[in-house]
Structure 1
Amino acid sequence: MNLILKSFTLLLVFAVNFSYAQKNRFDVGIEGGPNLSTILNEESTNNYQLSILGSAGTFFQYNCKKTISFKTGLFYQQKGYQWKQDQIDLDDSSIGKGKFTSHLDYLTLPLLTKITFGKKINFFVNAGPYIGFLLQKTEQLKTSNPSNSYKYQDMQGTNRFDFGLTGGLGLGIPIKEKWLITIEARNYSGIMNIATNGTKLHTNTTDFNIGFAYKMGLRNPINETNDVSSKKDKPQIDIGIEGGPI
């Protein structure tokens, strides 16, 4: 958690300093929320069940044209799955129900191309690759018999890196001149095998984000009056901070 907070702090410092260097053309905000996550097993017909987890992070956006922009960021993202099963003894007799959960905490970096359209309400779609770094893995078994339950943290057998494709769609609602509310659903589909023990496992997570952005890039009204036409064609950069309940 200390690593995550330090990373967010460094990104905020960079955002503020770089915004002044670019004549305050940045947006800063917060965004995040719950997600639905599971693990796909290529070698088994038994699908792991979805887990409700969450994500939070910072994002940066550069608008090179009216409708096209590029977005990246750094996210704390929870992935994993759950599996409910019968517990049996040595005689294959049922001794109760059990629930196994596996949670993987990642630091995720997406690289997105974003297309925006609309006037009062901005609709957008984005897509691109992502890379994730595993921070911690927690596995837990809960049963009707507490003596058979356990919880431990161990990253053995799991690749520290995750790579895949991500894409989403959403909308942005302007609030006055300097604020923007965003709503987005974004899926992360893992391509890299996260297992190192021969099993083929891939992550699959869909984030549901609600965000608030502060527009630091609003132009000076005096300067804009004197030079409106020349500034319309200049690129604009957006920066935000994503975060939400986990």
Structure 2
Amino acid sequence: MLFCIALNAQESVEEEVVEAYKNPIKIGLKGGLSLPSLSDNSDNIYTQDFKSYVSFETGLFAEYGFSDLLSLQVELNYTVKGGERTGSQPIPAAQLEGQLPPDIALPSGTVLYAEFNNKSALEYIEIPILAKFTFGEDWKFFGNIGPYAGFLVGATQKTSGTSNISADIPGVGFLPNLLPDEVSFNAETDVSDSIKNFNFGGIAGIGVIKTVSSHSEILFEVRGTYGFIPVQEDETFGESRIGSVVFSLGYAYKL
């Protein structure tokens, strides 16, 4: 009888230990490559034809499990978003202020063009709140979805190359080689004042988790993000929305 009681007590303790780790709180870190995008569904010439470039994202997360299936994950991430454009592209006239000769008077509505490289890098601190669904035992598969809030911490426009200036003048037409010499576009400009400080968007992702020990897991995830708020303060130069595809590796520790 004593042996049976002791055995039952041991089984109860083991069940409590298993139950304690069945739906644990987890903390972790992750990082990886990002392919950001800068898109505008309008016909604004200043925001067309921007392409993705290779960037990065890194962050911390905490997860609370309500069941084997469902958990809540909160993150704190640093990410760089934006886009790049190369070749012939329009330039706001104000950008060339002081570089045009005083004898050149351009009428209102004139659009200037040049060939150069143009890269927009928008740095954000993002806070996603995600519902996470997990399936499996040793190898686990998961999906997550939810909103995020993004706070701008830096915005830089990096341009490079030299080009002559062309002009599309209302009532006159397209005039190539407006200047006798080429203009240098090698510059790195802080454009934070022209970008909104806050953004709000959605995230959806899928991934796989490998259990390493009773407390440790490693994970791989692919996710997509999309911002619902146009980033420009002045809509004259477009209504671009940011997004990204992120490939990340992470480590989680069960408390």
Q: TM-score, normalised by structure 2?
A: 0.68
Alignment deviations for residues 109-132 of structure 1 (CA, whole Å, 9 cap, x no partner): 111001000122110000011110
Alignment partner, residue 121 of structure 1:
139
Question: Does the 8 Å contact 1:112/1:129 carry over to 2?
Answer: yes
Q: Does 1:147 find its partner at 2:184?
A: yes
Offset at residue 151 of structure 1 (A): 0.8
Equivalence for 2:34: 35
Moved more, 120-129 or 78-87: 78-87
User: Quick one: structure 1 residues 87 and 115, their matched pair in 2 at CA, closer, same or farther if it must change by over 3 Å?
Assistant: closer
2: CA distance, partners of 1:35 / 1:122: 23
Shift of 1:66: 1.1
State the distance in 2 between where 1:79 and 1:31 align: 17
SS in 1 for 2:54: strand
Matches within 5 A, 1:143-222: 143-144=161-162, 147-198=184-235, 199-216=238-255
Percent of aligned pairs sharing the same letter: 26
Q: Deviations over 1:9-52 (max 9, x none)?
A: xxxxxxxxxxxxx99x5333221111000111121383310021
Q: State the alpha-carbon separation in 2 of the partners of residues 160 and 38 from structure 1.
A: 18
How far 1:87 moved relative to its partner? 7.6
| Cα distance in 1 for residues equivalent to 2:194 and 2:221 | 33
Q: Is the 8 A contact 1:41 1:47 kept in 2?
A: no
Structure 1 87/117 Cα, relative in aligned 2: closer, same or farther at 3 Å?
closer
The one-letter code sitting in structure 2 at the alignment partner of 1:159 is: K
2: CA distance between counterparts of 1:163 and 1:210?
24
Q: State the shift of 1:200 in Å.
A: 1.3
Q: Is the 8 A contact 1:166 1:188 kept in 2?
A: yes
Shift of 1:97: 5.2
Taking only aligned residues, the RMSD between alpha carbons, in angstroms, comes to 2.7
CA–CA distance in structure 2, aligned partners of residues 32 and 49 of structure 1: 22
- The AA in structure 2 aligned to 1:197 is D
Equivalent in the alignment of 1:19: none
Aligned equivalents of 1:98 and 1:194: distance in 2?
A: 23
Give structure 1 stretches of 5+ with no counterpart: 1-21, 217-246
Hey, what does 1:62 align to over in structure 2?
64
Q: TM-score, structure 1 length as denominator?
A: 0.71
Q: How does 1:87-98 map to 2 (within 5 A)?
A: 98=116
Larger radius of gyration: 2
Q: Which residue number in structure 1 is paired with residue 122 of structure 2? A: 104
Residue 125 of structure 2 aligns to a residue whose secondary structure is strand
| Letter aligned with residue 210 of structure 2 | I
- Tell me whether 1:133 sits opposite 2:151 in the alignment: yes
User: How many pairs does the alignment contain?
Assistant: 191
* Ranges in structure 2 where 5+ consecutive residues have no aligned partner: 1-19, 91-99, 101-112, 164-182
Which sits farther off after the overlay, 137-146 or 99-108?
Answer: 137-146
Aligned to 1:26: 25
Report the Cα distance in structure 2 between the residues aligned to 1:202 and 1:96, rounded to whole angstroms.
Answer: 24
Q: For 1:163 and 1:133, locate their aligned partners in 2 and report how far apart those are by CA, in whole Å.
A: 9
- Say if 1:155 and 1:96 are closer, same or farther in 2 by CA, change over 3 A: closer
